[in-house]
Amino acid sequence: MRHLITISDLQKQDVYAIFSKAEYYLTNSTECLYNKSVINLFFETSTRTLTSFAIAAQKLRASVINMPVQFSALKKGESIADTIATLHSISPEFIVIRSGNSGIPFMAAQESRSSIINAGDGCNEHPTQALIDAFTIKSLFGDLNGLEVAICGDVLHSRVAHSNIKLLTLLGARVRVIAPPTLLPQHLPDGVKKYNNVLDALKNVDVIMVLRLQYERMKKSYVASSAEYYKCYGIDVTKLECAKGSAVIMHPGPINRDIEISSEVADNNHSVILKQVKFSVPIRQAIFDFLSSFV
């Protein structure tokens, strides 16, 4: 039994195994989840993550239950722990969990008979999104080793950034983070460079990952205003000119136009944002396939 709670659960060879399965799933499918059940338990809103997990599981022939948390027993006062214990007793092969609180998927994985996949927990991690992002970069550049990747935006609250920093570093990319000082974590892994000035930070960059301001996770005011933030940190065509001419723009979505990114940048030919969404299905098929060999 294996879970995917954090990027730290994976060795480099696991990542390459998932990538090679995803290559296969780009044009083929298997029935590796035939007769198996997947419960998507989402305590937070989601568009692309929930639908791509559901489609990936269906393509692999699983029975898929999307748990509408707003209609569940949680609304009758049941705790998250009791809800998870209840679902464990039904024994699905997989439970995919998204939660606003960090640590819920980890808690669910303790003594679980189901394989738990973290679909984003609070500000902590979002390992499957990082796998999509690294796979997208690999499809464009061939190899991540030595690439300069800038992660720009609300790094402090971004589970996508935290998983990406781990995964990109594991695969040999050089990572820099760009944000106002209030939105950068105090501690970052060795080798990750911190910048507060976008124009300096984007020099010689191959990949720019833009992040949303995660107001829903902010306990106090971290920026003067959205307009002020956009002026200094929003990625527009002028700022993009500082990066390499071949640089690509990524964003895990949802995009807030004219807050962290201009429409011109989000929609221009440097943008691979919809490619990331396209790869979300084969990568999630690959993750189910990889984990099911340990069930």
SS3 121: strand
The minimum distance between CB 282 and ligand NCD, in angstroms, equals 16
**Residue 33, interface with ligand NCD (CB under 6 A)?**
no
- Could you say which of 99, 129, 169, 292 contacts ligand NCD (CB under 6 A)? 129
Please state the closest distance from residue 81 (CB atom) to ligand NCD, in A: 22
The SS3 call for residue 59 is: helix
Angle, alpha carbons 118-115-42 (nearest 5°): 40
Of positions 21, 126, 138, 166, contacts ligand NCD by CB under 6 A: 126
Kindly state whether residue 59 participates in binding ligand NCD, applying the rule CB under 6 A.
Answer: no
Q: Which of 3, 59, 138, 159 binds ligand NCD (CB under 6 A)?
A: 159
Q: Does 56 bind ligand NCD (CB under 6 A)?
A: no
Determine if 100 is a binding residue for ligand NCD (CB under 6 A): no
Distance of CA 275 to the CA centre of its chain: 14
Q: Rounded to the nearest 5°, which phi and psi values hold at 232?
A: -90, -35
Nearer residue to ligand NCD within complex by CB, 30 or 214: 214
Handedness of CA 142, 125, 20, 47 (dihedral sign): negative
- Closer residue to ligand NCD in complex, CB, 50/107: 50
Tell me how far, at minimum, the Cβ of 158 lies from ligand NCD, in Å: 7
| Identity of the residue, 49 or 292, whose beta carbon is nearer to ligand NCD in the bound complex | 49
SS3 56: helix
Q: What DSSP string describes 212-253?
A: ---GGG-SS--SS-HHHHHHHH-B-HHHHTTS-TT-EEE--S
Q: Which residues is 235 bridged to in the sheet?
A: 261
Residues that bind ligand NCD in the complex, under the rule CB under 6 A: 48-49, 120, 126, 129, 159-160, 212, 214, 252-253
